[in-house]
Amino acid sequence: MEWLENPDYEELNRSAFPNHMRSVMTLVLIDDINGEDQHHLWADVNGSGDLVISGQDLGPLVRRFFGDSDYEWKHTVPSAYVPAFLEMLGGAPGVAALTVLEGFVGKRSYELGPIIEEAKKVMPIEFWSYA
């Protein structure tokens, strides 16, 4: 588990774009490198309180599926739905999102995909991708 945090980055939270919120705390869930193929997954809570789970896949395996060697994506759980989503992850009420997600660091991070898909059936989770 790796926490990336620095209180000196407060200025990074300011943006010329009011709906664009940056986080200064990120939980790295997995950095998996297997030869030329890479899989990265991290989570953060943005300035609006939304939980953002992001990933990036790189390498020949990605090129085979997407025609490009770089695939980036993210799921955004709106702040109003974060407590219910954390409950789906097994989190107790009132526990911080990144604390709950600490239980999904490493190989267990692969369990998040099916949980996110199940949550999408009852929550407006936004999906974005770029390949």
Nearest to 30 by CA among 112, 126, 119: 112
pLDDT confidence band for 24 (50 / 70 / 90): low
- pLDDT tops 60 at residue 16: no
- Using one digit for the tens of pLDDT, what is the confidence trace for 52-67? 999 999 999 988 988 8
Range of the domain at 34: 2-130
What is the Cα–Cα distance from 73 to 54, expressed in whole angstroms?
Answer: 6
Number of domains in the chain: 1
Q: Is the Cβ–Cβ distance between 40 and 56 less than 8 Å?
A: yes
- pLDDT tops 50 at residue 41: yes
Verdict on whether the full-model pTM lies above 0.85: no
Identify the pLDDT of residue 54: 97
